[in-house]
Amino acid sequence: MAEMKKVATRDSYGNALKELGAAAPNLVVLDADLAGATKTGTFQKAYPERHFDCGIAEANMINVAAGLSTMGLVPFAATFAMFAAGRAYEQVRNTIGYPHLNVKIGATHGGISVGEDGASHQCCEDFALMRTIPGMTVMCPADDVEARAMVKAAYEMDGPVYMRFGRAATPVFHEEGFNFQIGKGEVLQDGTDVAIIATGIMVPEAIEAGKTLAEAGISARVINMATIKPLDEELVLKAAKECGKIVTVEEHSVIGGLGEAVCSVLAEKCPVPVKRVGVNDEFGHSGPAAALLKAFGLCADNIVAQTKTLLGK
């Protein structure tokens, strides 16, 4: 996929907010002293009167966003995933989730690919934390086109939303005009031997793995699951019934993320063998993003290896 254009989804987030801002005067953006890194600075330059820097006070930012939402505004609160889901968890739960307020959280720099910032900033627990909050929609886009469409869809829906965006540039494989729907997965490659269900920046890796498996005579169905909650249960069950085996792939802990969401559905409705590819029960460490992803098995080669092991090949 080297010939494809690459864009970091955090850039997509900033660009989508700026584009939405022109048509949505009730959209406001909050940041926690990271507008340059989260890319909300793009919105800030266009609409300075609707951008609020809350400083290094993430919990307060979430409370401010909650208050603004009760005034008919649609606030997008941005910071790193570690701070949005971790440091401000209590405020997200009690101030946004409990009263089910219309606040959108744009969490950037999620997962191992934060790279040199190290374990303290490599949040691999955010899906798990946000999934447990009743009524919270949890999403993670695979590329630039999907990310921009996701931001628009989040604005248009009523209720709390958590979106994770990446730091590293990733291949853009969707065509402009892609019809993104919250709660719906997407079959990118059909197959019958096994289904690979991936989210976020692992989707391009899953696509590559699917191609490699096809060359080895293994028919793999590749599914992009951008919405982790609510999960597209119909698509998961269809894949289980037609393929018989499932591999899940995520740049997140294997505990509490996409893999466990898929397993929960299958355990109750269609038990089949599942292999979860993600970060095992361990912290990350500092290093170049590409090297870390490979070291933690978050790459096409390991997806292929784990799939073959699951299939007994």
The percentage of the chain sitting over the pLDDT mark of 70, rounded to a whole number, equals 99
The arithmetic mean of pLDDT across residues 182-188, rounded, is 98
Residues 33, 141, single domain; the answer is yes
Cβ within 8 Å of residue 83, ≥6 positions away: 32, 58
93-150: pLDDT as tens digits: 999 999 999 999 999 999 999 999 999 999 999 999 999 999 999 999 999 999 999 9
pLDDT at position 278: 98
**Which of 171, 200, 221 represents a domain boundary (last residue)?**
171
Judgement on whether residues 97 and 210 belong to the same structural domain of the protein: no
DSSP code of 175? P
Residues 147 and 205 in one domain: no
Per-residue pLDDT band for 4 (boundaries 50, 70, 90) equals confident
Same-domain status, 228 and 157: no
In a domain, 178, yes or no: no
pLDDT grade, residue 169 (50/70/90)?
very high
Domain CATH code at residue 302? 3.40.50.920
Residues 45 and 87 in one domain: yes
What CATH number is given to the structural domain containing 57? 3.40.50.970
Report, as residue numbers or ranges, the catalytic residues: 58
Q: State yes or no: pLDDT of 1 exceeds 60.
A: no
Query: Residue 180 falls within a domain, yes or no?
Result: no
* 1 located within any domain: no
Q: Has residue 152 been placed in a domain?
A: yes
Closest CA to 200 of 175, 225, 223, 177: 225
**Residues 93 and 232 reside in one and the same domain:** no
Same domain, yes or no: 122 and 215 = no
Q: Is the residue at 242 inside a domain?
A: yes
Claim to verify: residue 218 and residue 160 sit in the same structural domain: no
31 with 164, same domain? yes
The verdict on 139 and 76 lying in the same domain is yes
In a domain, 179, yes or no: no
Q: What is the mean pLDDT of residues 167-179?
A: 95
Q: What is the pLDDT of residue 2?
A: 44
Helix (H) or strand (E) holding 74: strand 74-80
Residue where a domain stops, chosen among 171, 204, 223: 171
**Domain shared by 197 and 148, yes or no:** no
Q: Do 164 and 90 sit in the same domain of this protein?
A: yes
Is residue 181 included in any domain, yes or no?
no
Q: By percentage, how much of the chain surpasses pLDDT 90? A: 98
Q: Mean pLDDT of all residues in the chain?
A: 97
Q: Which domain holds residue 224?
A: 186-311
CA 309 from centre of chain: 27
Q: Would residue 293 count as lying in a domain?
A: yes
Q: Which of 256, 262, 250 is nearest to 299 (CA)?
A: 250
Given 142, 171, 200, which residue is the final one in a domain? 171
| Residue 231 amino acid letter | L
Q: What pLDDT does 248 receive?
A: 98
Q: Say how far apart CA 130 and CA 139 lie, in whole Å.
A: 10
Residue 274 three-state SS: strand
Summarize pLDDT for 19-65 with one digit per residue, the tens.
999 999 999 999 999 999 999 999 999 999 999 999 999 999 999 99
Structural domains in the chain (count)? 2
**3 has pLDDT over 70:** no
Which pTM value belongs to this model?
Answer: 0.96
Q: Residue 66 has which token pair?
A: 């909650």
Spatial separation of the C-alpha atoms in residues 302 and 313, rounded to whole Å: 14
